[in-house]
Amino acid sequence: MSCLMVERCGAVAFKRSEQNAIQVCMLADGTLNTGHAGVLLVERRGSYPLIDLRILKTSAQQGEVEAGTRRKVKRLLSFQRYCHASRLLRGLVPHTSGSLHLLDDDYLGQAAHMLSKVGTWNFDIFLFDRLTNGNSLVTLMCHLFNVYDLVHHFQLDMVKLHRFLGMVQEDYHSQNPYHNAVHAADVTQAMYCYLKEPKLAEQLSPLDVFLGLMAAAAHDVDHPGVNQPFLIKTRHHLASLYQNTSVLESHHWRSTVGMLRESGLLSHLPADMSQDMEQQLGALILATDISRQNEFLSTFREHLDNQDLDLQLSSHRHFTLQIALKCADVCNPCRVWELSRQWSDRVCEEFYSQGDLERKFGMEISPLCNQETDSVPAIQIGFISYIVKPLFDEWHRFTEHSPLSQTMMGHLNKNQAHWSRLRYAHTHSDTQTHTHAVEPESEGGGGGGGGGGGEGEGEGIP
């Protein structure tokens, strides 16, 4: 099949998906309205509008259009390389579990070496993304599908699979410092490590693995780089659509369903089976809503206290996958410091960008988004203390202190101590600066009086 034919087939599939899209009412938790059983509202791929009408009129719009064009050209070139270089389309399907389907010869060496170690916790996703020319998510997912033999088990069409994964990767916003395709690849690699945990691995079905990897890859697709409160206070249409509840997560899920249907990846399966898979994907992605953290954590803790988590039950395995995805989504503080620090800087850069927008348009600046008062160390210490550590303490219990879990907890404790030292240095520096500023007026009296002023940083972490 030529590249031109593939592109034309894709255009036809997209047109049909537009014609066949059915809209229904959906509850905030992702379940269907009983009046419309078996039907799911999907969103068109790339349907996310600009965040605010006032922002639409800024000079940044032209740059965004140009960036979008460059991404489309890059994807076309990437797909052409796949058509001409892939052994699959030449009829030479590799049978070894470690084979690479989608890499050009130039990348095979170093990228293949990295993929041979993809199950190790010190996997450097930033390096892997460079080696795969920005295609880390597609390459990683195809490799993992091959490792688990999911293509054969579900009789998937490799061209459709690549098309779907290409859509997912492209619909992450590369201009986001944090919520981009590299983050999705990082979460997917972490999810793979968790799926390999002995406590869990021996109980998982192929469907569990398929859903876990798919949810990890698509859990933040089309993320706009701002949070839910921002969408609510700017009266974004998605906030109204989802009644201000799990707005982003619902959009990530429905966009994923739209791409599944547009690509036709599951079209060969019975309708009831594909719809059930869509629903289960939704339940996994919706679990990443940070506002539901206490809900999931208390249920998980209760199961562990009562020792009644039975992984032979599909419902209990599904709940455990939800917890695993939540862990994968916030695991950055459990990585080695060199990787963890990069992610911390990226997420804070994204927070600060939102704060700058809010300041520019006279809105109240959201918590953690004020670059002048919310330091990176303070944000990270609060994040670790209130979100990450409570969750991973329970995961540590669940895995029965597995080697991976012990490694993660070791990194977490070291990173927390490192951030504490940096916050101390930051607040001490601020105190010194403030002291020097007031010395000329105070004639040198009480030079150390402002020492406690910075201690409140990060207290407002949710």
Domain positions in the chain: 105-429
Query: What are the pLDDT digits (tens) for 297-351?
Result: 999 999 999 999 999 999 999 999 999 999 999 999 999 999 999 999 999 999 9
Question: Does 83 score more than 60 pLDDT?
Answer: no
Q: Tell whether 52 is in a known binding site.
A: no
Residue of 143, 162, 173, 179 marked active site: 179
Q: What does the pLDDT read at residue 261?
A: 97
CB neighbour burial string for 198-229, b if at least 16 within 10 angstroms, e if fewer: eebeebbeebbbbbbbbbbbbbbbbbbbbbbb
Decide if 179 is catalytic.
Answer: yes
* Residue 402 main-chain phi, psi, to 5 deg: -65, 160
Q: Is 220 annotated as a binding residue?
A: yes
Is residue 386 scored above 60 in pLDDT? yes
- State the average pLDDT over residues 287-303: 97
Q: Is the pLDDT of residue 82 over 50?
A: no
- pLDDT, tens digit, 9 for 90 and up, residues 390-440: 999 999 999 999 999 999 999 999 999 999 999 988 776 665 655 554 444
The pLDDT tens digits of the residues spanning 135-155 come to 999 999 999 999 999 999 999
Q: Is 305 annotated as a binding residue?
A: no
Q: What is the pLDDT of residue 109?
A: 79
At 30, the pLDDT band (50, 70, 90 cuts) reads very low
Establish whether 380 is an annotated binding residue: yes
State residue 454's pLDDT score. 34
Q: How far is CA 179 from CA 211, 222, 248, 310, in A?
A: 21, 9, 12, 34
CATH number given to 105-429: 1.10.1300.10
Structure tokens at 106: 């130039």
216 marked as binding residue: no
pLDDT recorded at residue 432? 60
Out of 6-20, 176-190, 358-372, which region has the weakest mean confidence (pLDDT)? 6-20
Q: Is 219 annotated as a binding residue?
A: yes
Average pLDDT (106-115) is 80
The answer to whether 413 is a known ligand-binding residue is no
Asked if pLDDT for residue 182 goes beyond 90, the answer is yes
- Mean pLDDT, range 42-60, rounded to an integer: 45
pTM comes to: 0.76
Check whether 222 is labelled as a binding-site residue. no
More confident residue, 261 or 97: 261
Q: In the predicted model, is pLDDT for residue 98 greater than 70?
A: no
